[in-house]
């Protein structure tokens, strides 16, 4: 399989995952104060929203790359 077709498959899988997962969330713990044995931490939540249009574009681009990889064979 040609590298362009492999890239197309990766884009298809990433696009489908982006359509099913509308956002990615994680929590980051940061130290606020360190004074000897005393330590105070703060937790900060982060969220990245994945637009539906980005998932659709990735799937369509992946399909196009798979067909382009097959034609040049």
pLDDT at 72: 59
Which residues, other chains included, contact 37 with Cβ-Cβ below 8 Å and sequence gap of 6+?
none
Structure tokens at 35: 């004074």
How many distinct structural domains can be found in the chain?
Answer: 1
The span from the CA of 66 to the CA of 19, in Å, is: 20
The answer, yes or no, to whether residue 1 has pLDDT greater than 80, is no
Instruction: Write out pLDDT tens, residues 24-49.
Output: 999 999 999 999 899 999 999 999 99
pLDDT at 7: 93
The answer, yes or no, to whether residue 73 has pLDDT greater than 60, is no
pLDDT at 70: 82
The span from the CA of 19 to the CA of 45, in Å, is: 22
Name the residue range of residue 15's domain: 3-71
* pTM of the model as a whole: 0.71
């Amino acid at each position: 399989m040609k590298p362009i077709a492999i890239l197309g498959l990766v884009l298809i899988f990433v696009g489908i995952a982006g359509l099913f997962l509308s956002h990615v969330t994680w929590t980051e713990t940061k130290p606020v104060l360190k004074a000897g044995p005393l330590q105070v931490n703060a937790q900060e939540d982060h969220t990245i929203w994945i637009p539906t249009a980005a998932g659709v574009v990735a799937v369509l681009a992946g399909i196009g790359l798979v067909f382009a990889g097959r034609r040049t064979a």
